[in-house]
């Protein structure tokens, strides 16, 4: 009970303290509040991963009934990675928010929202009462909204926040429908009522219930076509909030889907097929759109959709493995999915933190306006490159490990699965290969255009790496990215209990060959990297006294080339863009040139999400068009408004009289 009280009181006490504190201490107070709450929940999580499940019952009165709090291995895994990312976010954010000094009220609200957002996420992982879960889910939505609209004076930021808030409440509506469906049948708000209901109903009803929860949680996770809030919210929020949202908030949707899968546990094959198809489509669509983005944070937002798709592929193949009784497929799928949840929270938060440093150094997120930043931000460039290599799944970094596990599950399913599903498995492998290749194209573009070459615009003299300790959390993330790639066995051992909740205890012995293969690949690549470093060091020693001469680099017949002759983000992916123009909504601006020697001209390309246009924009336009037909009612005439009031009063009086008359006629007919 003491731990629960501390978890609840830590954000409250920190909030009261930072309101009256000096501006430079507000970030540190928020960090202390997050650290205390994280320490308590992490203690429970570690005990759960070691085999000791925490459980506590709270009397919620006549409204909630009993509220069960529990930390099982699945929630423990999500709690630990959430706490780590929130700690790095608050430490990085303390330095990042110095640029907004003088905004006392705004900073107070920001850090208080951050504290209660962390408390809400912790509570979601503990909560096992559906009604209380919905209340906490609402708190999460409101606090995240406040964090997104920090720069609320910008219209695009406010629109992004409102977009997120609306879609969060659509998520709540679907979750409410699912929970009320079950509680109405079982007269119980506890999560276990879902298991009882699914055991005593048809498989079709169980699948329909899962789809309702999938829509509710999928909106938070960002599966397509439920992803349309991500590309707006991520660029609008401060960098540490973008990293936190991509690293942990969207993972709440993944947690919710996995929790429902555990609770239903009767229709594994159907659920697995749905998740596998949805994962491949989300991964491909996300990375296809990411490549053609010009805004750095918007590019990273679409990569969140891509990586959610990869996690969905792992969940899908793991579910199919459980359905077919194939322990290795189940282990590889769920291990890959859960490990990728951690991996994505690491390299994506690192990328967003790096984008924040780039933004404050250049005051722009337009990739085409950057260039040559590696000279001014060498440390940031190194960290960004490390995260970019990890997100593309290259060894010896952490992304390779989780994707290798998912590949293993798919190949094992092809060898041992039913013939009717073999085509689906093969297409999933092809999809995962395409996702990896396109991600590599996207990040070579992003890193090359931003950090290499010559500057495309003027930078301020103080555009350098931060010296206020802001890079420390980034280095901590980088160390974990390397450690997971170097020694994956320790992280997979921590994953065994969460995975065995899905697969059962038979999965443990089959994991040994997988670990050996992954570790050998990682060690071989690290050996190559070390060998390269040794050769470079020897060359440096040998040539340190040799005379150096500087000559101009061959400039392809442009020895005095302008930075404008460099590749832009658009020209770099021109061949790809021409291939996908039929699928994606891409428009090109081409000025009309009718002279032999044209004046200054501006060429540009713009992309838009076709799914967003079809699912949101077109229906909204039709609804507005239909409502617009009734504009004549609002004509400004007082006489008409008085008439509307008389008609309304008449209807209110007439309806009860009409009902009473119908009842009288019904009774008369019965007597006859």
- How far CA 231 is from CA of 191, 234, 449, in Å, comes to 33, 6, 21
Q: Which residues pair with 587 in a beta bridge?
A: 606
User: Alpha-carbon distance 348 to 297, whole Å?
Assistant: 11
Structure pTM? 0.90
Phi, psi of 66 (to 5 degrees): -85, 135
pLDDT of residue 126: 92
pLDDT of residue 306: 94
User: Alpha-carbon distance 346 to 280, whole Å?
Assistant: 22
User: Alpha-carbon distance 546 to 465, whole Å?
Assistant: 32
pLDDT of residue 593: 65
- How far CA 441 is from CA of 313, 434, 574, 577, 580, in Å, comes to 21, 11, 12, 12, 14
pLDDT of residue 350: 96
Residue 538, SS3?
helix
Are 321 and 327 contacting, i.e. CB atoms less than 8 angstroms apart? yes
Q: What is the DSSP string of 235-287?
A: HHS-HHHHHHIIIIIHHHHHHHHHHHHHHH-S-HHHHHHHHHHHHHHHHHHHH
Residue 59, SS3?
strand
- Tokens coding 317: 């193949």
**Computed from CA positions of residues 566, 569, 571, 572, in that sequence, does the dihedral angle turn out positive or negative?**
positive
pLDDT of residue 597: 63
Q: Which helix (H) or strand (E) holds 69?
A: strand 66-71
Nearest to 488 by CA among 520, 529, 528: 520
User: Alpha-carbon distance 397 to 525, whole Å?
Assistant: 10
Residue 511: left if φ>0, alpha if ψ -120 to 50, beta else—which one?
alpha
Residue 227, SS3?
coil
pLDDT of residue 415: 83
The residue whose two tokens read 């994991």 is 511
Q: How many CB atoms lie within 10 A of CB 501?
A: 15
Residues whose CB falls within 8 Å of the CB of residue 239, separated by 6 or more in sequence, listed in order: 92, 93, 96, 297, 352, 353, 355, 356, 357, 359
pLDDT of residue 611: 84
Which ranges constitute the DSSP H helices of 129-249? 130-148, 155-186, 192-199, 203-221, 230-236, 239-244
> What is the number of residues in the chain?
672
pLDDT of residue 150: 92
pLDDT of residue 261: 93
pLDDT of residue 507: 46
The residue whose two tokens read 């009860």 is 656
Query: Counting Cβ atoms within 10 Å, is residue 403 exposed (0-12), middle (13-18) or buried (19+)?
Result: buried
Are 481 and 383 contacting, i.e. CB atoms less than 8 angstroms apart? no
Are 562 and 582 contacting, i.e. CB atoms less than 8 angstroms apart? no
> Using alpha carbons only, what angle is made at residue 600 by residues 595 and 604, rounded to the nearest 5 degrees?
105
Phi, psi of 418 (to 5 degrees): -70, 150
Are 89 and 244 contacting, i.e. CB atoms less than 8 angstroms apart? yes
Mean pLDDT per 10-residue run, the chain (672 residues)?
72 84 86 91 92 84 84 94 95 90 79 93 92 94 94 91 94 94 86 88 89 95 91 92 94 95 87 94 94 92 95 94 87 93 95 93 88 90 95 90 92 78 90 94 92 79 78 94 89 90 66 68 81 88 78 61 74 85 77 65 75 85 82 74 84 86 81 70
- Tokens coding 228: 């349309």
Phi, psi of 594 (to 5 degrees): -125, 20
């Amino acid at each position: 009970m003491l731990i629960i009280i501390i978890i609840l009181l830590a954000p409250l006490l920190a909030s009261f303290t930072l309101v009256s504190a000096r501006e430079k201490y507000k970030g540190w107070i928020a960090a202390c509040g997050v650290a205390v709450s994280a320490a308590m929940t992490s203690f429970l999580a570690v005990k759960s991963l070691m085999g000791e499940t925490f459980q506590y019952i709270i009397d919620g009165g006549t409204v909630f009934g009993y509220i069960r709090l529990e930390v099982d291995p699945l929630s423990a895994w999500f709690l630990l990675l959430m706490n780590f990312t929130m700690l790095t976010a608050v430490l990085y954010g303390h330095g990042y928010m110095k640029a907004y000094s003088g905004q006392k009220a705004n900073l107070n609200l920001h850090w208080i929202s951050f504290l209660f957002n962390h408390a809400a996420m912790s509570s979601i992982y503990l909560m096992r009462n559906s009604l209380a879960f919905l209340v906490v889910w609402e708190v999460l939505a409101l606090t995240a909204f406040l964090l997104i609209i920090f720069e609320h004076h910008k219209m695009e930021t406010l629109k992004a926040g409102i977009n997120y808030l609306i879609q969060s409440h659509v998520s709540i509506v679907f979750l409410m429908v699912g929970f009320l469906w079950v509680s109405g049948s079982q007269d119980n708000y506890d999560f276990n009522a879902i298991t009882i209901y699914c055991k005593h109903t048809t498989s079709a009803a169980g699948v329909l219930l899962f789809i309702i929860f999938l829509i509710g949680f999928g909106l938070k996770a960002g599966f397509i076509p439920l992803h349309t809030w991500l590309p707006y919210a991520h660029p609008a929020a401060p960098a540490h909030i973008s990293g936190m949202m991509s690293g942990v908030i969207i993972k709440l949707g993944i947690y919710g889907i996995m929790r429902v899968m555990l609770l239903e546990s009767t229709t594994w094959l159907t659920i697995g097929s749905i998740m596998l198809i949805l994962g491949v489509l989300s991964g491909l669509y996300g990375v296809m759109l990411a490549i053609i983005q010009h805004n750095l944070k918007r590019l990273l937002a679409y990569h969140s959709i891509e990586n959610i798709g990869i996690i969905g592929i792992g969940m899908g193949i793991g579910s199919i493995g459980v359905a077919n009784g194939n322990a290795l497929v189940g282990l590889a799928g769920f291990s890959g999915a859960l490990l990728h949840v951690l991996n994505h929270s690491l390299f994506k938060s690192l990328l967003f933190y790096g984008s924040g440093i780039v933004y404050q150094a250049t005051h722009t997120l337009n990739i085409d306006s950057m260039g040559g930043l590696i000279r001014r931000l060498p440390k940031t460039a190194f960290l960004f490159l490390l995260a970019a290599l990890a997100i593309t799944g290259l060894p010896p970094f952490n992304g390779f490990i989780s994707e290798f596990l998912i590949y293993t599950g798919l190949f094992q399913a092809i060898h041992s699965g039913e013939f009717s599903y073999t085509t689906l498995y093969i297409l999933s492998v092809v999809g995962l290969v395409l996702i990896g290749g396109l991600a590599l194209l996207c990040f070579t573009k992003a890193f090359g255009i931003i950090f290499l070459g010559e500057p495309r615009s003027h930078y301020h003299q103080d555009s350098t790496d931060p010296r206020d300790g802001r890079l420390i959390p980034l280095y901590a993330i980088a160390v974990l990215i390397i450690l997971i790639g170097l020694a994956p066995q320790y992280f997979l051992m921590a994953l065994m209990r969460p995975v065995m909740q899905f697969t059962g205890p038979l999965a443990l012995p089959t994991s040994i060959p997988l670990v050996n293969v992954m570790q050998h690949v990682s060690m071989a690549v690290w050996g190559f990297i070390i060998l390269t470093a040794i050769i470079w060091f020897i060359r440096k020693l040998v040539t340190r006294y040799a005379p150096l001469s500087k000559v101009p680099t061959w400039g392809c017949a442009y020895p005095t080339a302008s930075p404008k002759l460099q590749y832009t983000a658009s020209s770099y992916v021109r061949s790809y863009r021409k291939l996908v123009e039929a699928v994606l909504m891409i428009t090109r601006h081409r000025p009309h040139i009718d002279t032999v020697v044209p004046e200054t001209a501006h060429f540009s390309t713009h992309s838009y999400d076709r799914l967003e246009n079809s699912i949101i924009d077109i229906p909204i336009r039709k609804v507005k068009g239909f409502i617009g037909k009734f504009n004549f009612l609002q004509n400004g005439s007082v006489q008409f408004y008085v008439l509307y009031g008389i008609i309304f009063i008449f209807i209110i009086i007439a309806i009860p009289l009409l009902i009473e008359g119908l009842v009288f006629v019904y009774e008369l007919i019965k007597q006859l």
